[in-house]
Structure 1
Amino acid sequence: MMRRTTSYSNCSISSRRAKWWREDIGIPYVVTFNTLVKGFCMMGNNTAAIQLLRKMEGNGCEPNIVSYSTIIHSLGKDTLVVDAMNLFSEMMRRGIAPDLVTYNSLINGVCKLGKWKEGTRLLNEMVGQIIFPDVQTFNILVDAPCKEGMVIDEKSVVEMMIQRGIEPSTMTYNSLVDGYCLRGEMDKAERVFDLMVSSGSIVVRVITY
């Protein structure tokens, strides 16, 4: 039985042993590496995660969309957008198509830095690749500017989501209410609240009040 270790230095495995893992035991080799990548990202150690990505290649294991998206998500969360975009470009050059998780992570990162136009550009890019946004995508695009008091018209946002078959969540409405309150536009905040209640599918929570 192989002893499990959290030491990064022990993650290096010879190509011969890696092949043995794949064929004789049947453990998905890329999944093993991806689990370690996720672990480093959860610890906030993006540098070690990227180094492990390089070790995958050195051990004859091709990184996949999960490998890249996991690190891109972690970088975006930490607003290390330049690094995230560089990794995104590398992934594209390797012919690995991004998915919804990849784009949501990038949009989250740029919006945290106040780059709303870049967030919109990424939204348009993903739709152009037939990758359709979900409620999380819209929540990111709504919440970030609202925290700065830059509120998008609530009807256009909600209508756009509904047209795409996406039900606005409590977070969607709360972000809009919060944004209007920051601007002192209580009449509009109340209008969003009424829209939230009239939708009939949202449970009004204490935070909204």
Structure 2
Amino acid sequence: MTHTVISLNQKLKYSEIQYRRLFETAQDGILILDGKTGVINDVNPFLIKMLGYSHKELIGKQLWEIGLFRDIEASRDAFDELKRDKYIRYEDLPLKTKDGLRKDVEFVSNSYLVNNVDVIQCNIRDISKRKQAENAQLQSEGKFHSLVEQSSDGIIIINNKGQIIEWNRGQEKITGLTKDQVTGNMLWDVQYKLTPEKNDNKNLLSEFKKNIKSYLFPKNKTRSKEHY
């Protein structure tokens, strides 16, 4: 019996060491809160570095006390929701560092019991760089779309199936067909429609389709082997 108790204690101690090691080395921020009051009981090094607060400045404080969340009332409402539902998730939540800088984070929090005590664990992932990249891409796409629309040259953009997804004003003037009329249609069908004196030549349509597909899906040319 004594041996069994010692073995269980050893397993428990090992489990606690493993958890602490994961907590200390995690590359996401982790907050441990009192499940009833929302007071911060523990915080890992990654989150301390991310937010610029010291360990001492965070321990014993509530989230809304340190101004971590920009909207204090929303923070309290979220805490009440978490206590009720035991789980809450925000895919894009703005946090504020000690220096007042904005951090965009993914915030996942759940509630559970530890020795019959309510505990809340908050996992906080910094997505600021991803957001910046997404915004830069949107701006780039906006500039590209503006250039396409303003060009006096006819510009057509198709997807990898051959469907028309962009048909600019220059192309509208050249062909007399509006963007709404052609978007979603296959390029070869529109090209065939615009061909004068086609006389319903289906071979011509097949040729258009073949040429466009060969451009979209070029065959890999392999060098033939020579045998000696």
Same fold (TM over 0.5): no
More strand by share: 2
More helix by share: 1
